[in-house]
């Protein structure tokens, strides 16, 4: 982006295909921060988060002119519906947004805790950023690549990002996204 905002999900993220965010949700004893291998959200029969965020997704998608299926695809790829997901690069919550990016998008200070504990805000700002990346880059694929690796990265030269974009695009095109409703 022209204002130098960098970073949601993949910025500084390891290029390993086995990457998964950390689940920071409190356990029974109140502890948090332990990685959850292979899964970072509550995977139910209807898909991640069982549709509890659909109203926020639909609202943000309409507000920013983005296909709700695309937002669901990004969310599924980024956090599997886990509000407490946190990347090693510091991206937070459902849409895996860094606090500095969220703050610039919101026009006010947004904390990591707020991104994890306010799903409506996280989805709104993540969708706003996705819409900006798509508009700036000129295509959905390039917007997804920029969302994943940052606006100045060459996502097409990064195997992880190629897989990220292909996975979401294929899911949207084939209608194989999680049914969260």
**Residues with catalytic function:** 78
Q: How far apart are CA 88 and CA 11, in angstroms?
A: 10
DSSP conformation class of 130 = H
Q: How far apart are CA 89 and CA 103, in angstroms?
A: 16
Structure tokens belonging to residue 7: 């970073």
Q: How far apart are CA 153 and CA 18, in angstroms?
A: 21
Q: How many CA atoms lie within 13 A of 124 on its CB side?
A: 14
Contact 116, 93 (CB under 8 A): yes
Helical axes 68-79 vs 140-149, angle rounded to 10°: 30
DSSP, collapsed to helix, strand or coil, labels residue 41 as coil
């Amino acid at each position: 982006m022209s204002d130098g905002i960098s970073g949601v999900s993949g910025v500084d993220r390891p290029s390993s295909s086995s990457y998964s965010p950390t689940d920071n949700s409190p356990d029974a004893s109140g502890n948090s921060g332990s990685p959850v291998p292979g899964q970072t959200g509550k995977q139910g029969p209807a898909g991640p988060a069982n549709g509890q965020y659909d109203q926020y997704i639909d609202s943000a998608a309409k507000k920013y002119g983005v296909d709700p299926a695309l937002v669901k695809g990004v969310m599924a790829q980024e956090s599997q519906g886990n509000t407490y997901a946190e990347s090693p690069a510091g991206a937070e919550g459902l849409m895996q947004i860094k606090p500095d990016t969220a703050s610039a998008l919101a026009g006010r200070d947004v904390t990591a805790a707020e991104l994890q504990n306010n799903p409506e805000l996280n989805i709104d700002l993540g969708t706003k950023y996705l819409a900006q990346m798509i508009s700036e880059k000129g295509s959905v694929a390039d917007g997804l690549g920029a969302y994943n690796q940052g606006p100045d990265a060459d996502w097409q030269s990064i195997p992880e990002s190629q897989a990220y974009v292909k996975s979401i695009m294929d899911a949207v095109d084939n209608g194989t996204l999680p049914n969260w409703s």
